[in-house]
Amino acid sequence: MAEIKAADVAKLRKLTGAGMMDCKKALEENDGDFEAAKDWLRTKGLAGATKRAGRAAEQGTVDVIAAGNVGALVELVCETDFVAKSAEFVELVHDLTQMVFDQPNSGIELNPFRDSTVGETITQLGAKLGENVALGRIARFESADGVVDGYKHMQNNRGTIGVLVDLAGVKADDPKARELAHDLALHIASAAPRYLTRDDVPADVVASERAVYEELTKNEGKPEQAWPKIIEGRLNGFYKENVLLEQGFVKEPKTTIKSLVDGFGGGATVRQFIRVKIAED
């Protein structure tokens, strides 16, 4: 049997509007074949209308709720920005985000919601609007020893970028800690870091970047003895661009995020973050 990856399940869910577990089952039953899995869902009555099944959900709305030491983020995807910014769509995303904030549960599609379930409510909205509507990314942070803050960037009356950040080692009722956490959330929305620390960058990504810089350096005709230093310098540039703690703070570019957090004192540290931008992996 083919290995069924979470990314494959998410892709099938976007294509069909079916529930997460149903998509996983469909892929398992059809050895990872997407077309066969789509047909399997249709025969079970689990997919959206046939006309919507092949259309990509590349628009949507993201909402963020953060208070005290808890934060929640939910992305709902659809096909057009017209639907994404509609009052009904935005309200649904907000209600789902509130549910995730109130009820820690990673698999929410079967949760009771509006006299039905989350999954059925989303399917019904898709049928009503005539678009492929599906859950996107979901996150919930709860800090036992810190502050969780968030930020939502609005565009055309809907959230297009959502951020949550968990700042550990501070008191949840400390206004200065809350201010720092919010500054971090704003920075993450703007600077779009991909990783928290250098150690979080996957080995294959580092290897790929290094290979590119090696080829680039060779093609530039630099002396061979200088190659290692040049390549390492370029790799360090990659880290500074993509690793949160090594980025320059957007408000003070000469100050790294690590220096900013360390300067707060008291053992403050960024434990985790998430940034979601609509139509972007």
* CATH code for the domain defined by 6-53: 1.10.8.10
Match domain 202-242 to its CATH number in 1.10.10, 2.60.40, 1.10.286, 1.20.1280.
1.10.286
Find, among 245, 112, 93, 102, the residue nearest to 154 by Cα.
93
Instruction: Please give the chain's pLDDT, 281 residues, in tens.
Output: 677 887 788 788 777 767 777 788 888 888 888 888 887 776 665 655 344 444 556 899 999 999 989 999 999 999 999 999 999 999 999 999 999 999 877 678 878 888 888 888 998 888 888 888 989 999 999 999 999 999 999 998 899 999 999 999 999 889 999 999 999 999 999 999 999 999 999 999 999 999 988 888 888 888 889 999 999 999 999 999 999 999 999 999 999 999 999 999 989 999 999 999 997 76
Residues of the chain with CATH 1.10.286: 202-242
Within 10 angstroms of residue 92's Cβ, the number of other Cβ atoms is 22
> Is 59-189+266-277 a CATH 2.40.40.20 domain?
no
- How far apart (Å, rounded) are the C-alpha atoms in residues 35 and 123? 20
The span from the first CA to the last CA of the chain, in angstroms, equals 27
* DSSP assignments along 178-239, one per residue: HHHHHHHHHHHHHH--SBSSGGGS-HHHHHHHHHHHHHHHHHTT--GGGHHHHHHHHHHHHH
Treating both helix axes as pointing N-terminal to C-terminal, what angle do 203-219 and 227-242 enclose, rounded to 10 degrees? 130
Find the angle CA(266)-CA(268)-CA(269) to the nearest 5 degrees: 155
The structure's pTM equals: 0.78
What is residue 1's predicted lDDT score, i.e. its pLDDT?
A: 61
Please list the residues that pair with 164 across neighbouring strands: 150, 274
Residues of the chain with CATH 1.10.8.10: 6-53
What is residue 41's predicted lDDT score, i.e. its pLDDT?
A: 78
Find the angle CA(64)-CA(70)-CA(75) to the nearest 5 degrees: 25
